[in-house]
Amino acid sequence: MGERREEIPLHSSRRGRRRGRGMYRLLAGINLAGMVAVLFYRVTNIPHESLSLRLLWAAMTLSELWFVLYWIMNQAVRWDPIYRSTFKDRLSLRFEEELPGVDAFVCTADPWKEPPLLVIGTVLSLMAYDYPPEKLSVYLSDDGGSDLTLYALLEASFFSKHWLPFCRKFKIEPRSPAAFFSAEAVPPLTFSQELSTMKSLYEDMANRIESAVSLGRVPPEIREEHQRLFSDWNPTTNSRDHPSILKILIGGGDSKAVDVDRCPLPTLVYMAREKRPTYPHHFKAGAMNALLRVSSEISNAPIILNVDCDMYSNDSQSVRDALCFFMDERTGSRTAFVQFPQKFNVTKNDLYDASLLSYNEVNSYGFDGFEGMMYIGSACFHRRDCLTGRKYSDDFKGDLNGRTWKKSLESADVLEERGKFLTSCASEENTMWGTEVGLKYGCPVEDVITGLAIQCRGWRSVYFNPKRAAFIGVAPATLNDTLIQRERWAEGNFQIFLSRYCTFVYGKGKISLGLQMCYSIYGLWAPSSLPALCYAIAPSLCLLNNVSLFPKISTLWSIPFVYVIISTYGYSLVEFLCLGGTFKFWWNGQRMWMIRRVTSYFFAFLDSMLKLIGMGQMKFTITSKVVDADATARYENEIMEFGIASPMFILLTTVSVHNLVCLAALVFKVVVNGIEVLDPLFFQATLCGSMVLLSLPIYEAAFIRKDKGKIPTAVAFIAVILTLAISFLAVLYE
């Protein structure tokens, strides 16, 4: 039987097409030759007119050298991608009675930025997985310590008794009620009466929750009826100072909770770990580690799923997809985690480049080609053994037999009391939690560093991108939230690069060189801002004084520059179109590439440098999932949302206005002196003109729009003053 099983794998994989890989490698080789020619031009044509010009030339040379090195790093993810598929029917035939327990972790931290109704939509979608409910447990970590979130979860526990049978009966997708009822598809007639009843139940629940949130308190009759649940809250309780709160809403050894069809319900647990001002709480990593400890007492499932509160399950079969990798007899025992892509509801042309299209559809396959897909903090199934610090060894069997696994038989009261210590501040004192056990502490991207550490202990990870998205989340709907999120990602990855966890140091001899390069793509986001800023400012500034930083377009030296530009951006455009994007989709991506590098990545670099010299502290900013109606309307119409006087917007607007002024000055010179002026300045004029075209929404927001989402007048005024000052000094210094 064992040999027969091993002959029939639960998943398959294939490399990219040989011909396609060969053509790409040829194109990459030609591109590299063009880039080397550009650098050769730089070092053999150093100007001698003035020291300032030589310094500008050196800055451009170093910037282009950085671009070449960074481009080489990026080739790792495109060099040998791997694509995977699963056979869930084989899993069911062979292991249906042996399926392992699964613990699903959902993390939330602020009921005002992450509305409770949004949170329970994710919870319900996980409870409704097509999976034996007695083997499924869902845990909600509430770092906001809000009784409103617990109240919403209580309502969800009642609603689940109707919702789960409804999902099973009609096999609906998705199983987040909010997502399902907002879908435009018309249900079959045989389905309409049940649909109407279920929709009414959901709307009643949603109205009760939203009413409680708007009033800022749990209904008194609910608090009175469920005194045990709400007994830990008092008028002095706040999100930064409260005791451990653990409530088992469904489950415990004495539980006989069933739905309306008399089927058992999954275990459902609320946790708010203890917080005190004098103890570090380690943000999301601390919450995940507390969940690991608590779940080990209540259910102790060998497989763990973690998702963000806004990332609902879009496919009830995704848990079985993941198990096809964990339970495969040939390779499953070495699989540490299965990472699904994070996909988002975005506008048609992805205004803020939030869909992560290139990351999901290109880069991640390249990571998987080196057997080391990175852990990105959500939509990921883990083997519990890996999260508790275990090293992989050849004798590890990875037994996931669900026949031998059982949830705790102790009562809910006993489990709650025991779990309170496990979620207390004292539970981690003098332990290895956050260093060798659980998620790593001390980094804004604790997920990435944790995944890297797991891989360096000998485990391998898998990337699986099914045709139907397994998880769908809420993308930031304002530019400020988008940039704050990217700043955190860039800063965290750069901190990893600068630390002992740098992949070229920590991963040496443990993971492949290709995987080290893949990780470094994101580790070098922040310093990439410096050459990007140089290119955004210096060439256009030199237009004011007719100073050329590139070869004349009429000379042969222009050929490598033209080739590199056309091949790089031409390939990028073709790739986006092949992935299902539109030209406007791609153009928005180019704009956000520019915006991120001159704002969030630059500020991430500055913050990292300050922390390096001991002048900064780690922060974890939550992006808001709540946007007012006017801002939502602008987002849906793909109008950029600014609205606040952020330092990032001052820098962005200054760079944009600077390029507009320099281009206007060049146009004036062409009108006065003729087209021949452009011969030595062609590349700078093209670069400046591209910046102006990319910045059109910024000019509109700064000088034309009147709505609340425009760039504040003070920001526009400061940007104009800074631009004029820079231009005046440049002309004066000539």
Cα distance between residue 231 and residue 512, in whole Å? 53
Give the active site residue among 103, 142, 232, 447. 447
Query: β-pairing, 82-86 with 102-108?
Result: unpaired
Domain boundaries defined on the chain: 18-74+511-733, 100-338+377-391+406-440
Quick one: pLDDT at residue 2?
Answer: 45
**Residue 143 is among the residues annotated as catalytic for this protein:** yes
The enclosing H or E element of 307 equals: strand 303-308
- Classified as helix, coil or strand, 394 is coil
Question: What phi, psi does 472 have (nearest 5°)?
Answer: -130, 135
Cα–Cα distance for residue pair 434/439, rounded to 1 Å: 6
Which ranges of the chain have pLDDT less than 50? 1-4
Alpha helices in 234-317 (DSSP H): 283-298
What are the tens digits of pLDDT across the range 268-279?
999 999 999 888
**What is the rounded distance in angstroms from the CA atom of residue 685 to the CA atom of residue 276?**
57
588 C-beta neighbours (distance < 10 Å), count:
24
Measured CA to CA, the distance from residue 121 to residue 118 in angstroms comes to 5
pLDDT of residue 190: 64
Q: Is 103 a catalytic residue?
A: no
Q: Tell me the pairing of strands 471-474 and 343-345.
A: parallel
Q: CA-CA distance, 488 to 600, in Å (whole number)?
A: 8
Q: Minimal CA–CA distance to 109: which of 137, 148, 146?
A: 146
Nearest to 307 by CA among 250, 244, 377, 402: 377
pLDDT at 663: 96
The distance of Cα 22 from the centroid of its chain, to the nearest Å, equals: 31
User: C-alpha angle 584/341/143, rounded to 5°?
Assistant: 110
Residue type, 240: R
Per-residue model confidence (pLDDT) at position 16: 74
Which runs of consecutive H residues, i.e. helices, occur in 283-371? Answer: 283-298, 318-326, 357-358, 364-369
Residue position matching structure tokens 């988008």: 482
Residue 629 has what pLDDT?
86
| Contact indicator for 145, 271 with CB cutoff of 8 Å | no
With beta carbons less than 8 A apart as the criterion, state whether 179 and 312 touch: yes
**pLDDT at residue number 618:** 61
CA dist., res. 324 & res. 574, Å (int): 34
Distance CA 321, CA 213 (A): 37
Q: What is the torsional sign of CA 61, 64, 70, 76?
A: negative
Report the alpha-carbon distance of residue 140 to residue 128 in Å, rounded: 15
The pLDDT value recorded for residue 634 is: 93
CA–CA distance, 318 with 311 (Å, rounded to integer):
13
Q: How would you write 158-213 as a 3-class SS string? A: HHHHHHHHHHHHHCCCCCCHHHHHHCCCCCCHHHHHHHHHHHHHHHHHHHHHHHHH
- What phi and psi values does residue 198 have, to the nearest 5 degrees? -70, -40
* Helix/strand/coil for 84: strand
Active-site residue, selected from the candidate residues 103, 110, 142, 143: 143
Q: What is the pLDDT of residues 477-514, one digit of tens each?
A: 999 999 999 999 999 999 999 999 999 999 999 999 99
Taking phi first (over 0 means left), then psi (-120 to 50 degrees means alpha), and beta for anything else, what does residue 458 get?
left
